Structure 1
Amino acid sequence: MKERLGKAGNRRGWKIALAVAMTFGAAWNIAGAQTAPPAADYRIVGYVGDAKPLPHVSAQKLDVINYAFARVDAKGDVSFSSPTADQTLATFTGLRKINPNLKIIVSIGGWGADYFSDVALTAATREHMADSVAAFIEKYDVDGADLDWEYPTLPGPGISHRPEDKRNFSLLLETLRARLDKLGAAHQGRHYLLTIAAADGEFVSGIELERVSRSLDWINLMTYDFHNSLTPTTGHHAGLHLPDIAPSDDRAGDKAVAQFLAAGVPAKKLNLGAAFYGRAFAGVDPAHDGLQQKYAKYVGSPSWQELVASYIDKNGYVRHWDAKAQAPYLWNAKTRTFVTYEDPESLRAKAAFVKAKGLGGVMYWEQSLDRNEELLGVLDEALGKH
């Protein structure tokens, strides 16, 4: 994620290619903001990558900031590679002055992050990582940790992996949960959060879903990147449902939720994922305005800012709406370019789905890709937070 470091790939293989353009630059402006009311029933979790300057974050519009990323080494020590991490986390925790209910979580891992398998292998390294996590939680006064291991038992981009990952991931999370509970007991019974990011389909073959859910406060479902540079056709990269012309084994948000529910994960522990960026394909076969067609070249991942500025009903790109999938897409007949993305209409559909299924809320990647918090504002309104 982050570049969003590879959130899910296609069912035909374990690989994922994700190069989300990070266009940080908006200044923070928290002067004059009012204290937010208590959080609503549905949570909004936003990933925010480290950058200088940081994007603006309206603390009243979301419940959780997932700071991305920290990394773990082979010994189990968790550290921050960014030289501005201390300042960034201080800025995030400072937003509690505006919204006392805001939670700050440090996300560990991301696409390409190694050593999870090695650390999860023994009780000693699991405990060492748990102690390291507890130490940074105390140091920075954050509210918990989010693990983004992509993916247990799978090779990913050259990461260490082994069949034992399936059981060891459960043991790692149980060790972390016990350590965070011990830390909380030393801080007047404070509850520290433990969450994970997870993809659907074959990417959960290496996870004991029901067991790990017992250790977790919630799971951030990466219900995006269903179609990307390694899938053989175009398609909705964050579609809520399958379009009529999609094969039955294609991926969609509702199918991901059903898979996790069937495995015994409580609905309230699931956050449906939303993407503040698109996927663009060139040299696309023109049938169905480029939807579910073969393509010649994958050409990028425009942010919502870029989509509004240069793509949507501009420069030959015509917006279409797939009522079955509840997803928009763009087709440029002249250049034969297809763009899949999310917009306010699709996000309202996802929010309605969250309510209908009794899910925990929505997670999105990533704050800097929005334009003046337009998409975040839609989620905030649609989930009844303001």
Structure 2
Amino acid sequence: MGGITAFRLSTPPAVPKPSLAVIAYYAGDATAFRSYPTKGLTHIIYSFLHLQGNSLAFDKPQDKATVAALVALKAQQPQLKVMLSLGGWSGCQTCSQVFATAKGRSDFAASVKQVLRATHTDGIDLDWEYPAIAGPPGHRFAPEDRHNFTLLVQALRATLGNTYEISFAAGGFPEYLRKSVEWPAVMPLVNRVNLMSYDLVNGYSTLTGHHTPLYPSPPQQVSVDDGVRYLDSVGVAPGKIVIGAAFYARVFNHVPSAKQGLRQAGKFYKTFNYKEFTDSLSATQGFATYWDSIAQAPYAYNARRQEFATFDNPRSIRLKTQYVRTKHLGGIMFWELTGDKPQHGLLESLYEAAAQ
């Protein structure tokens, strides 16, 4: 029996308005990004490169192949910029030492220009965790890091000119915001600050809470809005502020059931990606999901296993993106692209909100 077969085409994700930066950190290989709807991205930041001596360097030859594949995307997506990130958590072990000297900063800036030219990439993102305050155990930090970071950015801008972009990843918590950066000196020289408004409750925390909330929810003050208000108070232009979203959950165990595990004693247990939520945070696994209407953030609790989970979901992603629009901020970024579902994931929720 003949007839016509109807094919239902899925609606492509809405593309954000061009004034909003949508920035993906990417730690995948040369092919994984092809599974994701990247056409609405303004930036992909490849993570990470590290210091070899005083120079920016790839760790492995396959990292260069990944960057080349990302750069090839620009032929189809002319608005896309591909940037390279230095460091990451535990990835900036010698930054304090190298950037403490004029030679170290000069050598690094020259190497950045060489690498950017060789890879046809568009800029450098500095993810030094952290200048002047404690980061990973054993990493040097010193009060003079704060000014040395300013000198580093000055050296980079002088060497790179205005052809290349410079951004940096900033801790979203008060100690970093107040002690790590000379904001009035640094911000005129960079294109944006990527506020890491996630991991605000982290692996060292002994009390549960929201790791990436939009607003303070007493007694937890630290949040996206708290960080943005601080940057505004020290004169950072709103259009240079990019807030962060998390495409992963943080899970704590040994958490008592009071308040569905929120703000209770607990021990950090593990992280897992958004693409695993359907299985890992499901009701069949024993999790019930809740919404904090003050923090504008979701959380989940498993009474049987005494586990508490904190994360972003489509609703919180949409609210963060709307916040960026309302506050006239520069954009929204997230860690990390391969944590998402390839289809109907958090990135699509972000696009939908950004296009409104």
TM superposition score normalised by structure 1: 0.84
CA distances 1:2-52 after superposition (whole Å, capped 9, x unpaired) = xxxxxxxxxxxxxxxxxxxxxxxxxxxxxxxx9x98961111010000436
Instruction: Specify the alignment match of 1:170 in structure 2.
Output: 150
User: 1:129 corresponds to which residue?
Assistant: 108
CA distance in 2, matches of 1:86, 1:229: 31
Counterpart pick for 2:289 among 295, 313, 319: 319
1:268 aligns with 2:239: yes
Higher mean C-alpha deviation, range 117-126 or range 319-328? 117-126
For 1:308 and 1:147, how far apart are their aligned partners in 2? 34
- Report whether the alignment pairs 1:43 with 2:18: no
**1:247 counterpart (214, 219, 232):** 219
Q: Identify the match of residue 156 of structure 1 among 118, 135, 153.
A: 135
Aligned-residue CA RMSD (Å): 1.9
8 Å Cα contact 1:280-1:337 kept in structure 2 = yes
* Structure 2 match to 1:27: none
Q: Report SS of the residue matched to 2:269.
A: strand
Q: Is the helix fraction higher in 1 or 2? A: 2
The DSSP-based 3-state class of the residue aligned with 2:96 is helix
Instruction: Report the counterpart of residue 17 of structure 1 in structure 2.
Output: none
The reply on whether 1:180 has 2:160 as its aligned counterpart is: yes
Uncovered stretches (5+) of structure 1, i.e. residues with no partner: 1-33, 185-190
**Shift of residue 163, structure 1, vs aligned partner:** 1.7
Residues 27-42 of structure 1 correspond to what in structure 2 (within 5 A)?
A: 40-42=18-20
Q: Deviations over 1:94-132 (max 9, x none)?
A: 101211010000001111122222222222221111100
Measure the CA separation in 1 of the matches of 2:129 and 2:269. 24
1:92 to 65, 70, 73: 70
Superposition deviation, residue 145 in structure 1: 0.3
**Structure 1 counterpart of 2:93, from 110, 114, 119:** 114
Separation of aligned partners in 2, 1:305 and 1:82: 27
* Structure 1 residues 349-371: Cα deviation after superposition (integer angstroms, max 9, x where no partner): 10111111110010100011101
Using the TM superposition, give the Cα deviation of residue 53 of structure 1 relative to its aligned residue in structure 2, in angstroms: 4.7
Match of 1:229 in 2: 203
State the alpha-carbon separation in 2 of the partners of residues 375 and 315 from structure 1: 22
**Structure 1 match to 2:5:** none
Shift of 1:279: 0.7
Report the count of equivalent residues. 338
Q: Deviations over 1:335-382 (max 9, x none)?
A: 221111110000011011111111001010001110115111111111
Q: What is the alpha-carbon distance in structure 2 between the residues aligned to residue 155 and residue 231 of structure 1? A: 15
> Which residue does the alignment assign to 1:207?
181
Q: Which of 169, 180, 183 is matched with 1:197 structurally?
A: 169
8 Å contact kept, 2:24–2:45 = yes
1:293 corresponding residue in structure 2: 264
% identical aligned pairs: 35
Out of 335, 338, 353, which is 1:365 matched to? 335
How far the C-alpha of 1:54 sits from its partner, in A, is 2.7
TM-score by length of 2: 0.90
Aligned to 2:317: 347
For residues 28 and 88 of structure 2, what CA distance do their matches in structure 1 show? 13
Is the contact between residue 42 and residue 360 of structure 1 (CA under 8 Å) also seen in structure 2? Answer: yes
Q: How many Å separate the matches in 2 of 1:342 and 1:59?
A: 20
Q: Comparing both structures, which one devotes a greater share of its residues to strand? A: 2
Which residue identity is paired with 1:361? G
Contact 2:37 2:342 in 1 (8 A): no
Please give the alpha-carbon distance, in whole angstroms, between the structure 2 residues aligned to 1:37 and 1:282.
39
The structural deviation recorded for 1:85 is 1.4
Counterpart of 2:227 (choices 242, 251, 256) is 256
Paired residues for 1:14-25 under 5 Å: none
Structure 1's 384 and 318: CA in aligned 2 closer, same or farther, altered over 3 A? Answer: same
Q: Extract unaligned runs of 5+ from structure 2.
A: 1-11
Partner of 2:45: 66
2:315 corresponds to 1:336: no
**Offset, 1:137:** 0.6
CA distance in 1, matches of 2:241, 2:16: 21
